[in-house]
Amino acid sequence: MKPPENSPTPPFPIQLNTIHIGDALTYLPLLPDNSIQAIVADPPYFRVLNEPWDNQWQTFNDYLQWTLSWLNQAMRALRSDGLLFLFGQIGKREHGFLHVLSAATQLWKFHDLIIWDRVVGYNERRDSLTPAYELILLLRKNKPKFHKHALRIPYDPSTIARYLRDKRYKNPQARAAHLAAGKFATNILRIPSLKGSSREKCGHPTQKPLALIQALLLLATDPNDIVLDPFLGSGTTALAARNLGRFWLGFEIHPPYAQLALSRLNNSQPQSKFAHQNNLHFSPFPINLNPLQKT
């Protein structure tokens, strides 16, 4: 790992390692073209949750147009070897994300669709199987940086012993090294979602597990790369990036969530000595929450 220890934040039009309070659509246009290595976006889902920020749009088409406009800015700012991770959640019958998948992949290049297996079911319903996954669409520009080796799942000792006895492998040393490192992760990432009682849970209704976001960043970035989360929520992406020695940038429209993220960052021991300083920056622009328009 390249040590970013003591590395100064690079000159950038928006302050890095900072939570910027305000509308993502205000800040995204300020980002230079091809400047961000990875974008982790967990936006509102459209009427899946009973939260004001998930019910801001009158129609699904309004939501889709909004999605495509922020995605357009985000994809412009993404480096040509970067990846954008877009989270999508399907509600009880709400399936807006399926249309987002279709529209976005007609406009930008599809890289992959990860299933995040939440392990624990949610949104229980009587007439269907219990939902247990969320989707993460990966969009690319050109050939992305991708560290497949970064995510390995350990083999159990009996499997290792069985494979090592297998005479078909011509290079036993290479085989042993692979077995010791573990098998490559599949595009079904099985990481438990946060239960209410989880120590990690900090008060945001859709807080993502730190382990999941760290896994995505390990795959798509190196130390010192710049990571953006345009919908920062409780700051999971900022914390993951800080733990891994990446620069980060977060936008959050709701000031109490920005404060929550800041406290979380301040109260978490940096897991690496490469932690950078965190800042909370109040937007010079007026902070407007779109009025709640629930139908």
Q: Are 279 and 266 contacting, i.e. CB atoms less than 8 angstroms apart?
A: no
Say whether 135 sits in a helix, a strand or coil.
Answer: strand
Nearer CB in complex with ligand SAM: 37/89: 89
Q: Are 254 and 203 contacting, i.e. CB atoms less than 8 angstroms apart?
A: no
Using the structure block, give the residue that is written with the tokens 């220890």: 5
Using the structure block, give the residue that is written with the tokens 């040393």: 173
Nearer CB in complex with ligand SAM: 16/179: 16
Which of these, 152, 153, 179, lies nearest to 164 by C-alpha position? 179
Q: State the Cα–Cα distance between residues 113 and 146, nearest whole angstrom.
A: 15
If one asks whether residue 134 binds ligand SAM (CB under 6 A), the answer comes out as no
Q: State the Cα–Cα distance between residues 52 and 69, nearest whole angstrom.
A: 20
Closest separation between CB of residue 181 and ligand SAM, Å? Answer: 29
| Strand partners for 112 | 138
Closest separation between CB of residue 231 and ligand SAM, Å? Answer: 3
If one asks whether residue 97 binds ligand SAM (CB under 6 A), the answer comes out as no
Which listed range, 90-98, 123-131, 200-208, 280-288, lies at the site for ligand SAM (CB under 6 A)? Answer: 200-208
Using the structure block, give the residue that is written with the tokens 């560290």: 147
If one asks whether residue 247 binds ligand SAM (CB under 6 A), the answer comes out as no
Q: Residue 223, CB half-sphere, CA atoms under 13 Å: how many?
A: 16
If one asks whether residue 116 binds ligand SAM (CB under 6 A), the answer comes out as no
If one asks whether residue 20 binds ligand SAM (CB under 6 A), the answer comes out as no
Alpha helices in the chain (DSSP H): 24-27, 60-77, 96-107, 157-165, 172-181, 210-220, 236-243, 255-267
If one asks whether residue 242 binds ligand SAM (CB under 6 A), the answer comes out as no
If one asks whether residue 257 binds ligand SAM (CB under 6 A), the answer comes out as yes
Nearer CB in complex with ligand SAM: 179/212: 212
If one asks whether residue 225 binds ligand SAM (CB under 6 A), the answer comes out as no
* Residue 47, H or E segment: none
Nearer CB in complex with ligand SAM: 3/203: 203
If one asks whether residue 53 binds ligand SAM (CB under 6 A), the answer comes out as yes
If one asks whether residue 234 binds ligand SAM (CB under 6 A), the answer comes out as yes
Which listed range, 9-17, 238-246, 252-260, 267-275, lies at the site for ligand SAM (CB under 6 A)? Answer: 252-260
> Which spans of this chain sit near ligand SAM (rule: CB under 6 A)?
23-25, 42-44, 53, 204, 206-208, 231, 233-234, 236, 251-254, 257
